Amino acid sequence: MPLIKSGSKQAFEKNVGTLMKDVGKSPHVQSRAQALAIAFATKRRARAEGGAVHIGPISSTVPGRTDDHPIDVAAGSYVIPAEAVSNLGENNTNAGMVKLDEVMNSSPEEIRRFFGATSPPSRASGGRADSTGEPVPINAAGGEFVVPPKIVSIVGGGDVKHGHATLDAWVMKRRQNHIKTLRGLAPPAKD
C-alpha cells in the first residue's frame, strides 16, 4: 500500500482509495475510520514538511500519457513530456532521464546551451529560492521529468516565463526531429 506523500487534494483522494481497498486485508488498516485517519495524517505531514515537491524523473510503469500520478511541484517548474524524455535517450526513457539529470547538474552555460537558450542571462545566477510560490498540485505521467524553477530561470536568462517558452520550443524541436528520424528509418527486417 504505497501512499503518495503530498498534501494535494488529488493525492489525498488517491490515498483514501488505496487505503479503503486495504481495509481488513492489511494489518495496518483494520477499519474505514483508521483508513481515513492514515490518509489525513499523510496529508498533514506532507503540508507540515512544506508540501514536499517533486523534482526530476517520474519513474513509473504507468503509460506516459495517462497523467495518473498526483504530485506537487514547485511553482514555476516545467514538466518535460515523456515522449521527449524517451526520445532524448534514443527511445529509452531511463537513458533520457539520466541525460537530463546530468544536464540539471551542469553549469548554467551548459544548461542554456543544451536547451538552445538564445538570450543572454540578464542577472547573476544563484541567490534565489528554488520556488517562486506555493507548491502546485498536478497530475503527472510516468516517464516525465520535472525541471525545477531554478533551472527554468537559468534557461530563461533569469526569467521563468522566458524559460518556459524556451523549453516549449525545445520540446517541439525534439518532436519534429524525432518524426523526421522515424520517417527515414527502414522498415523492420523480415525473417
Encode the chain (191 residues) as per-residue pLDDT tens digits: 567 776 667 777 887 888 888 888 877 788 888 878 787 777 766 554 555 788 888 887 776 677 778 888 999 999 999 999 999 998 898 999 999 999 999 999 999 999 999 865 555 444 444 455 678 888 888 889 999 999 999 999 999 999 999 999 999 999 998 899 889 988 888 87
The per-residue pLDDT for 126 is 46
All three cell numbers of 70, joined, read: 498526483
| Per-residue pLDDT at 95 | 92
Residue closest to 62 by CA, chosen among 140, 1, 171, 136:
140
Q: What pLDDT score does 108 carry?
A: 94
Count CB neighbours of 109 within 10 A.
12
Whole-structure pTM value: 0.67
Compute CA distances 83 → 10, 115, 131, whole Å. Answer: 24, 16, 26
